Amino acid sequence: MDSIVVTGGQRLNGTIPISGAKNATLPLMIASLLTSEPVIFENVPDLADVNSLIRILTNHGVDYRVEGKRRGQQDLTGRTIHFSAEEIADTTAPYELVAKMRASFWVIGPLLARMHEAKVSLPGGCAIGTRPVDLFIASLEAMGAEITVEGGYVIASAKGGLKGAIYEFPKVSVGATHVAMMAATLAKGKTVLKNAAREPEVVDLATCLISMGANISGVGTSTITIEGVENLHGCRHRVLPDRIETGTYAMAVAMTGGDVLLKGAQPGLLQEVLDVLERVGVTIEPVNDGIRVSRNGAALKPVDIATDPFPGFPTDLQAQFMALMTRADGVSNIQETIFENRFMHVQELARLGAKIALDGQHAEVTGVAELTGAQVMATDLRASVSLVIAGLAAEGKTTVSRVYHLDRGFEHLEEKLSNCGALIERVSG
């Protein structure tokens, strides 16, 4: 298993290109199941999760084609991929494929909408809590689906097709909003989703569905209305920039000091995070082609945060922010409100010398003058990158093992950081 070795103490200076958002790419790819015509996505990141989902989609009968390099293109990041679900060959998503990544469960929406049946294994994914699927089931049942859970599979059918419904989510869920919205595009009549997620990735999916011919309004608010249509058609869509990657590198620069242009980043996608970083003492400057993040030698101020659905502070940046706060000049409080078990990075950060007291969903972080390099273990996607960030500022060498977690969601991490002066390398083993 590969490890990443970071030697801390270097400031970051230069440019980091921001990739297409993983969390937008996955539902967009799944939406290709809704139409027999080709859908083409630009700016698709080259990530293990994208490749896992390709395996799932091809099992359903989707053909795909990656566009080759074009004249003048520097490298193959931000690929353009064509997906074509001309015919759905299989409506079952088997355990071996779904277990790797929770989002693959989301195929249930389009399969049910287009084929009126689906059999999808209960999901796997990051071990950050129990993560049930009750909201998916309830919203699809509201649209007339009959659903049973047997032998680890969710088996759904909608004879004669799904029907429009009014459904209020008891809790905000990004995945369940994606799925209900996709399912409703082909349902008969009007669907109103209340307490829907407002995340930019939901907006990106809706924008794509609208270009495919769907009739959707209210996107970006907590009430989304979908008027079902007979068929959807193909389209071309550019994936929005990754706000979690943007926030992660902004925090890395905050940690080490330096001056970096996050190229292609859009401030509106993470305003709350940028505001918090400014309070910490980081200089944030939106520029034409991205966001410039810099910090001179000034101390990091402690700031309290609580994670929240968008537009609040994203849970996917909680671990990275905690890493940053381990070096703040004072005590900060971090409250995780989305997932019940998302503090697995705490004991690993402690190995680097961080002082963190945990009490349920709350962490009290007392900043220390220095972190010291150590061997640590990646436990989930965002937690692993928090260890890299901490390692960038630690004295000596930090070795992060189990980096397959990182490969699920961060494109060319070592390259992007080392181009800005970080001492970071991947060691195979």
Q: Which stretches of the chain bind ligand UD1, using CB under 6 A?
A: 23, 26, 102-103, 129, 131-136, 171, 173-176, 201, 315-316, 338-339
Rounded least distance, CB 315 to ligand UD1, Å: 5
Q: Which amino acid is at 383?
A: A
CB count in 10 Å sphere of residue 178: 28
Rounded least distance, CB 90 to ligand UD1, Å: 23
Strand locations in 158-300 (E): 166-168, 190-194, 215-217, 223-227, 235-238, 258-263, 283-287, 290-295
Rounded least distance, CB 414 to ligand UD1, Å: 22
DSSP 222: S
- φ/ψ of 418, rounded to 5, equals -70, -30
Rounded least distance, CB 239 to ligand UD1, Å: 13
126 is catalytic: yes
Q: Which is nearer to ligand UD1, 341 or 418 (CB)?
A: 341
Options 126, 208, 235, 420, the catalytic residue:
126
Q: Which is nearer to ligand UD1, 26 or 98 (CB)?
A: 26
**Which pair of tokens denotes residue 131?**
């993560």
Q: How far apart are CA 69 and CA 113, in angstroms?
A: 35
Distances (CA, A) of 410 to 50, 58, 353, 356, 420: 11, 23, 25, 26, 16
- What secondary structure does DSSP assign to 386-397, as a single string? HHHHHHHHSBSE
Cβ-proximal residue to ligand UD1, closest one: 175
Q: Which is nearer to ligand UD1, 321 or 339 (CB)?
A: 339
**Which pair of tokens denotes residue 296?**
């001179």
Rounded least distance, CB 86 to ligand UD1, Å: 26
Q: Which is nearer to ligand UD1, 200 or 258 (CB)?
A: 200
Q: Which is nearer to ligand UD1, 132 or 152 (CB)?
A: 132
Catalytic residues: 126
